[in-house]
C-alpha cells in the first residue's frame, strides 16, 4: 500500500515525476506570429477600494476576475499576440526550440509502476512520445502492450491527458481518469486489462478521486465533487463525497459511504475531501478527511464490511491537532506518520481495537533525516527518508528497522509497493544521473530493471554541487547548482535559479533534460530549498508559512546573492523562476530586489494573494496562506501579494508571466493583474510579457510538445535579458 497523505491525493502522479517535485507548466501556442509587432493592449483601470482592519487597499483590475467582462478576452489575446511576436523574434529561439525538443524526446520517463495479479503496469512517456500512456506486461520481462494512449484520442485541436490510474488487486481492471486541454476535469473510466475493453462507466466530477479498490477487485471507493457545484466558483471543491462503485454498474446506483453530515461520529468541514481506503489482506477500512492543501489529516477506522455497507460506526484515530500527515495499513496494523513532538517526523502504531493516536506505540523514532512516507509490502513496511537532499530507505519488519543500501546518492522519485507482494520498486535519480527503476527484494538486495530506457545523452559532461546561502536571520539555505564541467567560475555565467516554498513540498534532485540546453550554452541551473518546503521537516515548512512567508522570498534573494558571491555570476545575469505557489516567491523577490535580477519568470503563478481565496481553488488553500477575514490572515496575505507591492517608476527587470485559460488551480487573472501592474509601473523599458495558453491549464495535462515549446521560450527570454550573444534582437 502506498503512503497516503494530502499530497498523494492532490498532486498528479505525472506532474510529480515530470517535474521532479517542482511545480512545472508548459504551454504552446502554435499560431505563427503576426508579421508586424501588434499593439500592446493597456489594461482598463477601474479601482475597487476595500478596508481591512483599518488598512485601505485598492485593486485597479478587479474587473479581470469576471471572465464575461467585454475587455477580458481582448486583453488576454492582445497580450499573447505581442508575447508570441517578441519571443519568436529572439535570435536563437528557433535553434533552442529544436534542441530542447531533441533532449526531452530522448528521455523516457516512468512515473508509476504497479504489480497486480500476473501483470506489471507501467505509466510512461516513451522516447519520442508526446504524452504519457499506460502499458502492461505479463511479468517484469514480458512483452509490453499499450492499454491507454491519450495521444491517440486527439480530436482536432483537443488533446487528452491521463490524470490518474490504478489497477485492481487481481489486475483484471484498471480505473483511470481522462481530461482535455489540461483542465484536470477528469472523467473516470474502467477497462479490462486482458482485452483493453472500456466499460460503460463515464463518471464526471472525478478530479481527485483517490481510488481504492476492494480486495476482491469488484468495486472501488472514490471521491466525487458535489453535484451542481459551479466551476470558477468558490463552491466547486466543497462538500465532495466518497462513493462505492461496482464495476460495470450505473454510477447513479453508487453507494454514498463517507461524506459530511452522513454519520454523527464523523466531523467533516465543507472543504474536506472524504476518502475511504481498503487494503488487500486487511479487514479494516480507513476513512480520511483531507482539508484542502492542509498537511494534517483527520482519520477514522471501521471494519471493511461496515464501510462497504455504509453503516457507519467509524472510530476516530486522529484529528488535525494530532499532527498526523500520512498513514499506511498492513493487515490489522495501522501506521501513522506524525510530526507531533518530532519536527522531522516519526511513526506510531495503532489497531482497530485501540485506534486513538494518543495511545499509539512509537515504532519509528525521529532521526536526523526527515521521514517522508510509509509503504506496505508483504515483507514489511518501507520507510522513505530525505537526508539533507539525499533519499534514504529503511524497512520495518517485526519491530526491527533496518537500512537498505541504495546504489548512489540521489532522490527517490517514486516508491511502489503492494501488500500482496514481497519487495518494492523505487525510482532513483539525481541532478546528473537519469532515473533508473530498481526492484528491491525481500532480503534488501536491489536489482536494476529494464522498465525505463537509458537516454542517449552524455551525462558525464555535467556535474552538481551544493552551497549554502545565509538568510537575514542567519538560517542556512541549501542551493544546488548544476553546470557543465568546463564552465569557468568567472562571474559571467547566466543563471536560471528556481524555488517553490509552499505546502511542505520538497524541491529534490531530479534529472531535467531540458536544462541541458541551458547548460550547453554556459548557463547554470540552480535550485534553492527555500523555507515553506519540507526539506528539513515541519519546522522548515512552518518558517515559510502564513505570517512567516516573507522568509520564503528572503531565502530566494539570499540564494541569488550566494551564487553571485561564490563567483559564478552577476546581478545582470540572474534569472529567477517559480511556478504556481512559487509565483509568490519570485513575485515578491522581484518587488523587493528588482536590481538583483535580469529576468523574472512566473509560471501560472499566484500573484494576487488578497483575492486568491475568492477563486475556484481559493478555499482549500486557506490553511496554507490564511484568509482576509482575520486580521492576522490579512496581514500575512498582504505581505505575500505581489500586485500590491509593485511601485510606479521602478526600473523592473524583464518579466515573463504565463497562464493557461483552463487552469483549475490558479485563476488566469493572477498573471493578468500582475502583468497590468508591472506594465504600468516599470521605468526600465524592459519587456513585461504575458504568455497565454488557450488549450492548457496548470501544466499537469500538457503534452511534451507544449512543455518543450514553453521551456525553450523561457530559456530564450532569460538568455536575451542576460545579454547573451546570439539571443539579442537586432
Cell triple for 575: 534569472
Neighbours of 93 (CB within 10 A): 20
Instruction: Look at residues 467, 407, 469 and name the one whose alpha carbon lies nearest to residue 439.
Output: 407
* Domain presence at residue 729: no
Rounded distance between C-alpha atoms, residue 646 and residue 669, angstroms: 16
What does the pLDDT read at residue 112? 93
Higher pLDDT, 641 or 703: 641
Asked whether residue 134 falls in the same domain as residue 194, the answer is yes
DSSP H or E segment with residue 305: helix 304-309
DSSP H or E segment with residue 583: helix 582-592
The tens digit of pLDDT for each residue in 95-142 reads 999 999 999 999 999 989 999 999 999 999 999 999 999 999 999 999
What does the pLDDT read at residue 460? 95
Asked whether residue 467 falls in the same domain as residue 597, the answer is yes
Asked whether residue 246 falls in the same domain as residue 290, the answer is yes
Asked whether residue 399 falls in the same domain as residue 512, the answer is no
**Averaged pLDDT, 642-659:** 98
Q: Is the pLDDT of residue 299 over 80?
A: yes
**Averaged pLDDT, 18-23:** 30
Asked whether residue 97 falls in the same domain as residue 228, the answer is no
Query: Which of 4-13, 331-340, 396-405, 430-439 is the least confident region?
Result: 4-13
- Find the domain containing 223 and state its range: 207-366
Higher pLDDT, 2 or 156: 156
Domain end point (choices 177, 202, 227): 202
CATH number where 590 lies? 3.40.50.1820
Asked whether residue 355 falls in the same domain as residue 406, the answer is no
DSSP H or E segment with residue 635: helix 631-640
Q: Is the pLDDT of residue 230 over 70?
A: yes
Q: Is the pLDDT of residue 55 over 80?
A: yes
Q: Read off φ and ψ for residue 109, nearest 5 degrees.
A: -120, 125
- Beta-bridged to residue 404, according to DSSP, are 393
CATH number where 345 lies? 2.130.10.120
Q: Do the Cβ atoms of 483 and 463 come closer than 8 Å?
A: yes
* Domain presence at residue 131: yes
Rounded to 10 degrees, what is the CA torsion of 570, 685, 528, 533? Answer: 160
What does the pLDDT read at residue 424? 97
What does the pLDDT read at residue 700? 76
Q: Is the pLDDT of residue 27 over 50?
A: no
Cell triple for 17: 515525476
* Domain presence at residue 2: no
Q: Read off φ and ψ for residue 659, nearest 5 degrees.
A: -155, 160
Burial of 619 (0-12, 13-18, 19+ CB in 10 A): buried
What does the pLDDT read at residue 3? 66
Rounded distance between C-alpha atoms, residue 537 and residue 673, angstroms: 34
Asked whether residue 339 falls in the same domain as residue 391, the answer is no
Predicted TM-score of the model (pTM): 0.91
Asked whether residue 500 falls in the same domain as residue 462, the answer is yes
Cell triple for 576: 529567477
What does the pLDDT read at residue 98? 97
What does the pLDDT read at residue 17? 28
Q: Please enumerate in sequence order all residues whose Cβ is within 8 A of that of 711, keeping only pairs 6 or more positions apart, or say none.
A: 26, 100, 514
Burial of 286 (0-12, 13-18, 19+ CB in 10 A): buried
Split into its structural domains, the chain has a count of: 4
Q: Do the Cβ atoms of 643 and 674 come closer than 8 Å?
A: yes
Rounded distance between C-alpha atoms, residue 674 and residue 536, angstroms: 32
> How far is residue 292 CA from its own chain's centroid?
14
Rounded distance between C-alpha atoms, residue 359 and residue 647, angstroms: 55
What does the pLDDT read at residue 6? 54
Taking each helix axis from N to C end, the angle separating 582-592 and 631-640, rounded to the nearest 10 degrees, works out to 70
**Averaged pLDDT, 197-202:** 96
Higher pLDDT, 730 or 43: 43
Taking the CA atoms of the chain, what radius of gyration do you get in angstroms? 25
Kindly report the average pLDDT of the chain as a whole number.
93
SS3 at position 491:
coil
Domain end point (choices 331, 366, 401): 366
Neighbours of 449 (CB within 10 A): 16
Asked whether residue 564 falls in the same domain as residue 432, the answer is no
* Domain presence at residue 41: no
SS3 at position 438:
strand
The tens digit of pLDDT for each residue in 466-510 reads 999 999 999 999 999 999 999 999 999 999 999 999 999 999 999
CA atoms within 13 A on the CB side of 409: 6
Residue 668: DSSP 8-state: T
Cell triple for 206: 472525478
Distances (CA, A) of 171 to 166, 191, 416, 443: 9, 11, 15, 26
What percent of the chain has a predicted confidence (pLDDT) above 70?
Answer: 95
Asked whether residue 421 falls in the same domain as residue 535, the answer is no
pLDDT band at 156 (very low <50, low <70, confident <90, very high): confident
Domain end point (choices 176, 202, 228): 202
Q: Is the pLDDT of residue 182 over 90?
A: no
* Domain presence at residue 408: yes
* Domain presence at residue 65: yes
* Domain presence at residue 23: no
Q: Is the pLDDT of residue 9 over 90?
A: no
The tens digit of pLDDT for each residue in 419-446 reads 999 999 999 999 999 999 999 999 999 9
What percent of the chain has a predicted confidence (pLDDT) above 90?
Answer: 88
Q: Do the Cβ atoms of 257 and 221 come closer than 8 Å?
A: yes
Cell triple for 111: 512515473
The tens digit of pLDDT for each residue in 124-136 reads 999 999 999 999 9
Distances (CA, A) of 236 to 185, 229, 518: 12, 5, 40
What does the pLDDT read at residue 229? 85
- Beta-bridged to residue 198, according to DSSP, are 191
**Look-up: residue for cell 533519499?**
391
What does the pLDDT read at residue 16? 29
What does the pLDDT read at residue 21? 28
Asked whether residue 238 falls in the same domain as residue 329, the answer is yes
CA atoms within 13 A on the CB side of 702: 30
Cell triple for 535: 526539506
Q: Where are the beta strands (DSSP E) in 304-409?
A: 315-318, 324-330, 333-338, 346-351, 361-364, 370-377, 380-387, 390-397, 400-404
Q: Please enumerate in sequence order all residues whose Cβ is within 8 A of that of 287, keeping only pairs 6 or more positions apart, or say none.
A: 242, 258, 266, 274, 275, 276, 277, 299, 300, 301, 302, 307, 314
Asked whether residue 79 falls in the same domain as residue 214, the answer is no
Q: Please enumerate in sequence order all residues whose Cβ is within 8 A of that of 487, keeping only pairs 6 or more positions apart, or say none.
A: 493, 519, 522, 524
Rounded distance between C-alpha atoms, residue 623 and residue 298, angstroms: 14
Q: Is the pLDDT of residue 82 over 70?
A: yes
Neighbours of 94 (CB within 10 A): 12
* Domain presence at residue 36: no
Q: Is the pLDDT of residue 47 over 70?
A: yes
Neighbours of 649 (CB within 10 A): 7
What does the pLDDT read at residue 35? 54
Rounded distance between C-alpha atoms, residue 48 and residue 673, angstroms: 13
Instruction: Look at residues 558, 587, 579 and name the one whose alpha carbon lies nearest to residue 707.
Output: 579
What does the pLDDT read at residue 154? 87
**Averaged pLDDT, 689-717:** 90
Instruction: Look at residues 331, 335, 449, 320 and name the one whose alpha carbon lies nearest to residue 384.
Output: 335
**Averaged pLDDT, 411-417:** 94
**Averaged pLDDT, 151-167:** 92
Amino acid at each position: 500500500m502506498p503512503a497516503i497523505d494530502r499530497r498523494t491525493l492532490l498532486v498528479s502522479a505525472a506532474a510529480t515525476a515530470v517535474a521532479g517535485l517542482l511545480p512545472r507548466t508548459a504551454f504552446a501556442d502554435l499560431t505563427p506570429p503576426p508579421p508586424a509587432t501588434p499593439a500592446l493592449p493597456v489594461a482598463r483601470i477601474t479601482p475597487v477600494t476595500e478596508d481591512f482592519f483599518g488598512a485601505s487597499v485598492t485593486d485597479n483590475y478587479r474587473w479581470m476576475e469576471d471572465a464575461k467582462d467585454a475587455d477580458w478576452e481582448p486583453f488576454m489575446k492582445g497580450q499573447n499576440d505581442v508575447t508570441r511576436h517578441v519571443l519568436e523574434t529572439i535570435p536563437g529561439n528557433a535553434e533552442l526550440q529544436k534542441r530542447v525538443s531533441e533532449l526531452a524526446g530522448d528521455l523516457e520517463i516512468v512515473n508509476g509502476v504497479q504489480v497486480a495479479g500476473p501483470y506489471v503496469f507501467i505509466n510512461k512517456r516513451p522516447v519520442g512520445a508526446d504524452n504519457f500512456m499506460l502499458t502492461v506486461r505479463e511479468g517484469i520481462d514480458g512483452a509490453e502492450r499499450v492499454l491507454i494512449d491519450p495521444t491517440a484520442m486527439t480530436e482536432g485541436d483537443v488533446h487528452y491527458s491521463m490524470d490518474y490510474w490504478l489497477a485492481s488487486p487481481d489486475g483484471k481492471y484498471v480505473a483511470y481518469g481522462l481530461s482535455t486541454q489540461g483542465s484536470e476535469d477528469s472523467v473516470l473510466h474502467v477497462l479490462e486489462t486482458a482485452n483493453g475493453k472500456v466499460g460503460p462507466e463515464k463518471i464526471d466530477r472525478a478530479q481527485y478521486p483517490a481510488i481504492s479498490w476492494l480486495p476482491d477487485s469488484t468495486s472501488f471507493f472514490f471521491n466525487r465533487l458535489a453535484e451542481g457545484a459551479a466551476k470558477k466558483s468558490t463552491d466547486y471543491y466543497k462538500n465532495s463525497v466518497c462513493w462505492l462503485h461496482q464495476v460495470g454498474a450505473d454510477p447513479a446506483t453508487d453507494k454514498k459511504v463517507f461524506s459530511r453530515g452522513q454519520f454523527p461520529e464523523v466531523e467533516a468541514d465543507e472543504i474536506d475531501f472524504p476518502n475511504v481506503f481498503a487494503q488487500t489482506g486487511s479487514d479494516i477500512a480507513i476513512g480520511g478527511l483531507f482539508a484542502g492543501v492542509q498537511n494534517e489529516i483527520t482519520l477514522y477506522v471501521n471494519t471493511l464490511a461496515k464501510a462497504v455497507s455504509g453503516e457507519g460506526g467509524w472510530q476516530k484515530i486522529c484529528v488535525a491537532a494530532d499532527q498526523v500527515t500520512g498513514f499506511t495499513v498492513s493487515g490489522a496494523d495501522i501506521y501513522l506518520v506524525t510530526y507531533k513532538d518530532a519536527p522531522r517526523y516519526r511513526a506510531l502504531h495503532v489497531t482497530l481495537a485501540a485506534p486513538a493516536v494518543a495511545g499509539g506505540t512509537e515504532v519509528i523514532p525521529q532521526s536526523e533525516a526527515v521521514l517522508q512516507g510509509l509503504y506496505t509490502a508483504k515483507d514489511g513496511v518501507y520507510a522513505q527518508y530525505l537526508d539533507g537532499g539525499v533519499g534514504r530507505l529503511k524497512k520495518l519488519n517485526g519491530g526491527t528497522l533496518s537500512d537498505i543500501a541504495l546504489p548512489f546518492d540521489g532522490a527517490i522519485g517514486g516508491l511502489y509497493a503492494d501488500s500482496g507482494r514481497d519487495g518494492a520498486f523505487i525510482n532513483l535519480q539525481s541532478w546528473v544521473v537519469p532515473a533508473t527503476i530498481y526492484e528491491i527484494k525481500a532480503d534488501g538486495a536491489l536489482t536494476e530493471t529494464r522498465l525505463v530506457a537509458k537516454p542517449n545523452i552524455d551525462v558525464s559532461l555535467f556535474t552538481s554541487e551544493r552551497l549554502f546561502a545565509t538568510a537575514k536571520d542567519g538560517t542556512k539555505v541549501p542551493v544546488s547548482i548544476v553546470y557543465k564541467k568546463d564552465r569557468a567560475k568567472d562571474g559571467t555565467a547566466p543563471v536560471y535559479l528556481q524555488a517553490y516554498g509552499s505546502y511542505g513540498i520538497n524541491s529534490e534532485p531530479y534529472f531535467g533534460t531540458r536544462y541541458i540546453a541551458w547548460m550547453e550554452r554556459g548557463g547554470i541551473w540552480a535550485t534553492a530549498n527555500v523555507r515553506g518546503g519540507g526539506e528539513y521537516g515541519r519546522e522548515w515548512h512552518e518558517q515559510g508559512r502564513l505570517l512567516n512567508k516573507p522568509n520564503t522570498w528572503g531565502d530566494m534573494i539570499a540564494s541569488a546573492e550566494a551564487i553571485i558571491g561564490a563567483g559564478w555570476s552577476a546581478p545582470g545575469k540572474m534569472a529567477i523562476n517559480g511556478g504556481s505557489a512559487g509565483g509568490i516567491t519570485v513575485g515578491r523577490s522581484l518587488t523587493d530586489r528588482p536590481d538583483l535580477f535580469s529576468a523574472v519568470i512566473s509560471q501560472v503563478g499566484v500573484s494576487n494573494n488578497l483575492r486568491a481565496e475568492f477563486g475556484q481553488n481559493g478555499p482549500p488553500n486557506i490553511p496554507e496562506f490564511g484568509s482576509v477575514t482575520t486580521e492576522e490572515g490579512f496581514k500575512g496575505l498582504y505581505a505575500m501579494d505581489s500586485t500590491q507591492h509593485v511601485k510606479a517608476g521602478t526600473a523592473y527587470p524583464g518579466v515573463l508571466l504565463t497562464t493557461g485559460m483552463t487552469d483549475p488551480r490558479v485563476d488566469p487573472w493572477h498573471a493578468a493583474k500582475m502583468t497590468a501592474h508591472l506594465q504600468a509601473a516599470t521605468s526600465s523599458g524592459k519587456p513585461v510579457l504575458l504568455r497565454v495558453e488557450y488549450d492548457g491549464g496548470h501544466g499537469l495535462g500538457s503534452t511534451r510538445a507544449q512543455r518543450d515549446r514553453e521551456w525553450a521560450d523561457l530559456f530564450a527570454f532569460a538568455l536575451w535579458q542576460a545579454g547573451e550573444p546570439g539571443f539579442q534582437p537586432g
